Amino acid sequence: MVTFEELKKTFADLEIVRGQRTSFKGFSSLKLAGCDEASFFVDERYRDELSASNAGVLIAHTKRFPFVFEAFKGTVWHSPDPLPVLAALGAHLEKVKFGDDEQWSEVGVHPTAVVEEGAEIHPEAFVGPYCVVRKGVVIEARVSLLAYVYVGCHVKIGARAVVGSHVSIMAYTQIGKESRIMAGTVLGSKGFGVLRDGSGKTAVLPQLGDLSVGEQAFIGSNVTIDRATYGTTRVGPRGCIDDLARVGHNAHIGSDLILCSLSAIGGSATIGDRVTVGGCSAIKDHTGLGNDSTLTGMSGIANHKFKPGSVLRGVPAQLYPDQLRFEGALRRVPKLIKRVKDLEKRLEQLENEEREL
């Protein structure tokens, strides 16, 4: 059960502006929430769902959306910024529901784990079944390694990080505190450095660098982030990387990245702070995006000419309004081709008529 008093301790601006409900069991979307759950309203596109919602409590910025009082029939809590409340509430409820599956309650090293001499494991950390921890590793307090995790030589994992099952963290990688790495991900593996010699044969170059992941990062399942050829591949603090994404060697990524599923950042790309990359998109090697930029889904960056704060779309990506105009014009091409062909036929008829005269 979540109470108003508990949330009020963290969010002082939270207040009950209508109704008597001071607690709820969970939260969900406006469509799915039941009478004992809360929901949020942060986007006017969902206005029509308010009247049909069965949620017991609605958390919204009521000064920005005053119509919620008329449209929603339940208790209303006002927050000037509901999203942090949503994040904190979600983290609490997720821990209650899935905590046993994502983080072990006990500490210590499971008897089936293999820990090499020279590894430093904090007494309050947990190393799960069938993990392998190599020499020189440093695992700080309250870290949880779930089953079948491989930790290579001289890796450092910051306090309270959670590493999911079947994750491989290769040598010399650093993971920031409170980061979460989901199952099947590979961090710090050898980058894709390949050249052809004079005869055309491929040669794989040595990758001598490392990988650094900032604190409070979230890395989804089956992600790959390669170590640098030289120096360091960097993912900044609070970076959020969705399942099946890829980051190439020597990429430098700022803070608060959102990288959606099936997207790729090429080697030596430079990505600023607070960048969003939509699903199935790609950023070419040695290019990048400036601070506060957005690349929409199914798009690709081929050069580095865009200013910070740009919203980009298409392949190759252009500024969003320019791309929309281009796509609109492109849709008219079949009709234009037909018109040209009709005009050519008409012109040919006129020329034939003129010759007959």
Catalytic-labelled residue, pool 61, 122, 166, 249: 249
Measured distance between the N- and C-terminal CA atoms of the chain, rounded to whole angstroms: 94
Per-residue pLDDT of the chain (357 residues; tens, 9 = 90+): 889 999 999 999 999 999 999 999 988 999 999 999 999 999 999 999 999 999 999 999 999 999 999 999 999 999 999 999 988 888 888 877 776 666 666 899 999 999 999 999 999 999 999 999 999 999 999 999 999 999 999 999 999 999 999 999 999 999 999 999 999 999 999 999 999 989 999 999 999 999 999 999 999 999 999 999 999 999 999 999 999 999 999 999 999 999 999 999 999 999 999 999 999 999 999 999 999 999 999 999 998 789 999 999 999 999 999 999 999 999 999 999 999 999 999 999 998 888 887
For 167-316, which CATH superfamily applies? Answer: Hexapeptide repeat proteins (2.160.10.10)
From the number of C-beta atoms within 10 Å of its C-beta (0-12, 13-18, 19+), residue 221 rates as: middle
For the chain, the average pLDDT equals 94
CATH fold for the domain made of 2-102: 3.40.1390
List the one residue out of 27, 144, 142 whose CA is nearest residue 88.
Answer: 27
Cα distance between residue 145 and residue 122, in whole Å: 12
249 classed as catalytic: yes
Phi-psi domain of 169 (left: phi exceeds 0; alpha: psi -120 through 50; beta: other)? beta
- Pairing mode, strands 26-27 and 23-24: unpaired
pTM here is: 0.84
pLDDT in tens, 150-186: 999 999 999 999 999 999 999 999 999 999 999 999 9
Contact 74, 21 (CB under 8 A): yes
Question: For residue 80, what are its two tokens?
Answer: 């000037």
Q: What is the DSSP letter of 25?
A: S
Q: What is the DSSP letter of 18?
A: E
pLDDT in tens, 91-142: 888 877 776 666 666 899 999 999 999 999 999 999 999 999 999 999 999 9
List the one residue out of 338, 315, 339, 335 whose CA is nearest residue 327.
Answer: 315
Q: What is the DSSP letter of 56?
A: S
Cα distance between residue 351 and residue 299, in whole Å: 47
Calculate what percentage of the chain has a pLDDT beyond 70: 98
Cα distance between residue 248 and residue 357, in whole Å: 71
